[in-house]
Amino acid sequence: MKALMTFLMPCCFLGVCGVAQAQTPPATAPDNTSKLVTPPTATPEARPMTFGDTLTVPEPTATPDPRVVPADPLTVPPPEATPMPRVLPEPAAAPAKTGLPLTVSYKDGLTFSDADKNLELKLNASGQFDARSYYLDDSVAPASFDMRRGRLSLSAKLYGFATLQVMGAFEDQPHLRSATCDLKFHEALRLTVGQMKVPFSTQWLTSDTNVDFLEYAGAEPIYTSIDRGVQVWGDLFGKRITYTLGAFNGTGLDIDTNKGDIDNYKDVAGRLFLQPFKGLEINALEGLYLVGQGTYGRQSVPTRRYETRGLASADFASQVWRWRTEQTLGTDGRNTDQIAARVDARSRWGAELHYLNGPFNLAVEWLHVRYEDIGIYHQYYSGAKRLKNDLVLMQDGDIDSITGTLSLFLTGEGKTLDNNGYKQPAPKAPFIGGDGMGAIELLGRFTMTRTADDLFNTTKVTGYVAEDFGTKPPTIVGEGNSVTAAVLDGAPKLYEASLGLNWTLSTNVRAMFTGTYLLAANYKTDDNGVAANGLLSGGSSDLAYPLKKNRQIERELLVGARLIFKI
């Protein structure tokens, strides 16, 4: 063993020295760090290593740490897979915008329209606040502050063909005032359907915000109110002629008969509005207008809108006359002893002349109403069965109203007129929003309303007794009671005179001041001081004292003011 170690030690020393000499760069200092030298892997051209060959030593592999116990490959979870990058879908394209851009403007209301004015939406609102007081004789009409009108209107124009409009009335009992669809096929042919003003009387057709005085000169049945129906109309010969033909229920607004009509009868209406000198360069006659019109309708019973409400006077709170055909002599809830009327027909006729010349305006209007075969019947009902129906009075009769109006703008403005009535001018120099006085107008109006005396004829009706029914009478409920039956009760002839001062501060604000004097021409009292043929003071008001309301008087004076504001 000692001999073997003696032999191997010189050999190892010589091998190490050779390798160190071969790896030491000639230009650097010798590296004293010992390295583990591993013989190179044999190649196909391997040859015996000789002294001086360069030995290539591979990087040593890490020696396993004996203190670390290798994990069991069956219990070690496989390495997590590298997550694939998430590919998001391309965002969906934004939906194309629909509709048209609108512009907003303000003129007589808030208007939304497209660039070509093919579509237009307009919103309007107005209010009227009144202060009224009554004087003369034994007037019992109550002085009051009142929200006379509050209106909201929405209209739309579509491509110059269709015009849609809805208006709500929020004074008194809120209701739908008008709702129409107007289709324009040609200037000479248009169709309107819905709830609208029946074409009769320029005074009535003039909108509430353009009236001359606090109240119209007349009321229903002289005027036609608003009704549901259909009409065709159009302009001919350069608007020298405007015609209107229509058919209507003949019962009034939806609030009056909200299920439609009360019978199968309908009213027909026609109107011709003429401006014969329009465009003929005859300046003095350019503003001359002539109007003719009429309505006719069969009836079954008196309607609430045109008959049983009575005829309101021009001072708003009182009545010219009231309808007296519907009265009760007695009832127990099932059996009823009453008087009631049937009406065969109602017709109207009218003629007008209007003349406008700058700030001056003259208007004359004659309106005529004819009732045929108003029969008053004494009736007895037991449940829904009519046991008695006896005629006690039959009358025909006419009502005539003639009105003349003069007005003058002291500040130079002038009204305009078309088939839909008068329109007030914008002030040349507004008081609100300007440095002027606004538009100032002086006005005067006179009206005579004459009702046929026959319609005031009376008859006394007493309640039924058992003997009136033979051997099997029903429960008698009206025995010993009586009523005075008549078609009308009030003033057969009434004169009205009004003076007015109107101040238009701007297109949105207008102040009105009116004095209206009423005189019952045929007023009389008997030896007991009981009045007849008089104005029914407070008859259209909310006067709560029943012993004063409808007091017949000879004269009454209204002094009132109104503020109209429009949005």
Mean pLDDT within 255-260: 93
**Gap between the Cα atoms of 199 and 193, Å rounded:** 13
- CA dist., res. 92 & res. 81, Å (int): 32
Q: Given pLDDT bands bounded at 50, 70 and 90, which one contains residue 21?
A: very low
pLDDT tens, position by position, 198-207: 999 999 999 9
pLDDT digits (tens, 9 = 90+) for 452-490: 999 999 999 999 999 999 888 999 999 999 999 999 999
pLDDT band at 19 (very low <50, low <70, confident <90, very high): very low
Stated pTM of the model: 0.81
How far is the C-alpha of 253 from the C-alpha of 134, rounded, in Å? Answer: 30
pLDDT interval class at 529 (50, 70, 90): confident
- Helix, strand, or coil (residue 351): strand
Q: State percent of the chain over pLDDT 70.
A: 83
**Residue 42 confidence (pLDDT):** 46
Return the closest-CA partner of residue 377 out of 426, 322, 421, 336: 336
Task: Please say if the pLDDT value at position 336 is more than 80.
Answer: yes
Per the model's pLDDT, the better-predicted residue between 1 and 87 turns out to be 87
The SS3 assignment for 306 reads helix
CATH architecture classification, 128-151+186-461+488-566: Beta Barrel (2.40)
The residue-averaged pLDDT of 365-392 equals: 97
Closest listed residue to residue 514, CA positions, set 218, 213, 217: 213
DSSP H or E stretch at residue 246: strand 241-248
- Residue 187 has what pLDDT? 96
Residue keyed to tokens 């003696």: 6
pLDDT over threshold 70, residue 511: yes
Cα angle 153, 123, 126; round to 5: 55
pLDDT of 9 > 80? The answer is no
pLDDT category at 5 given cuts 50, 70, 90 is very low
**Lowest-confidence pick of 13-22, 89-98, 219-228, 281-290:** 13-22
Give the H/E segment covering residue 3.
helix 2-23
Higher-scoring residue by pLDDT: 533, 526: 533
- Extended strands (E) in 414-457: 416-418, 421-423, 439-451
Instruction: Tell me what pLDDT residue 22 has.
Output: 42
- The arithmetic mean of pLDDT across residues 524-541, rounded, is 94
Average pLDDT estimate for 20-41: 45
Domain spans, the chain:
128-151+186-461+488-566
Dist CA 441 CA 429 (whole Å): 14
pLDDT of residue 394: 97
Phi–psi pair at 4, nearest 5 degrees: -65, -45
Structure token pair of residue 349: 């006729």
For the chain, the average pLDDT equals 88
Residue 1: is its pLDDT beyond 50?
no
Specify whether the CB–CB gap between 46 and 40 falls below 8 A: no
pLDDT digits (tens, 9 = 90+) for 385-396: 999 999 999 999
Dist. CA 194–CA 254, nearest whole Å? 10
- Taking alpha carbons only, the member of 42, 6, 18, 146 closest to residue 563 is 146
What token pair was written down for 390? 């006896």
H or E stretch including 354? strand 335-357
Phi, psi of 436 (to 5 degrees): -105, -165
Spatial contact of 416 and 425, defined as CB atoms under 8 Å apart: yes
SS3 call for 5: helix
Instruction: Compute the chain's Rg from CA coordinates.
Output: 50
Mean pLDDT of 543-561: 96
Rounded to an integer, the average pLDDT of 105-119 is 87
Lowest mean pLDDT of 39-53, 81-95, 279-293, name the range.
39-53
On the question of pLDDT at 522 being above 60, the answer is: yes
Predicted pLDDT of residue 75: 53
Per mean pLDDT, which range of 85-94, 441-450, 554-563 is the poorest? 85-94
Q: Which residue has the higher pLDDT, 34 or 109?
A: 109
Among 38-47, 66-75, 132-141, 420-429, the minimum mean pLDDT is found in 38-47
Matching residue, tokens 């929003």: 433
Say if CB 320 and CB 349 are below 8 A apart. no
